[in-house]
Chains A and B, each alone.
Chain A
């Protein structure tokens, strides 16, 4: 059972302004067939004062759809059409004392019917541009369509980014699997993630690391001598060690072969399920320190001749 407020129940059981309005001069009809709701809003607008003198509705939908329609008519009667345009779906939900997150789309339908009716009054064409999908994050009321849009528009690739952009998954965190599914689906579609390019054994998630943004022109960067480069790498790894040692492990530089940097994870790291993540962390650090792309590989992958 939904946790409807008393105000929602009041407007559902005894809806205000239900029925047809024959002398209407502003009519908006909207609906979402998949969700099973449709709303016809009829208003009588005074052509001189632009005031909405009467408003009635007919709704096919659930309890909160009917309550939202009823609330909407109460909110707009007496307003001018321009004042009414300022009414948002949040206003409708607030008027009702709040709606369950799954039901926010009912208030959206109300706000859209209003815009459609006003467009009809003004003789404009109204295009519905909102779409909705399965509710993913219940805490913030974010649906799959919204996440898809955020991912596509902003080129997001990770769960953390989705949370930063949409808030989805930022509170109770139980929807992370669903968010990752949406993310995977979008990335697979746009090809942003080349899926399942087999990694060489022992190398880790290299293609998951985004290419460096070319902040400074690479060509303009002063070229390091081999010794300078080696020192930078050693220094970066030294900086990382305390952090890894805190977890009972250690990391040791074994060899540098051009873009390939071989390290050995020891202590608690060896055989640890998190070691792939640790390797990625080392790689990120070295890429940052050197300003060039390098690959970090476990020492076990050193070519035999080099040993």
Chain B
């Protein structure tokens, strides 16, 4: 495309089908302990 460059992202709608196993890391166990960020975590199935 000439006007738009789309970054590769996970299709959230698609992730409803196979998601929800919740094997991924709990957000506060990473580094934060005072805030909540999940966008920086990785899926156990796709990594």
Q: Do A and B come from one complex?
A: no
Seen from chain B, the residues whose Cβ lies within 8 Å of a Cβ on chain A are: none
The residues of A with any CB-CB pair to B shorter than 8 Å are: none
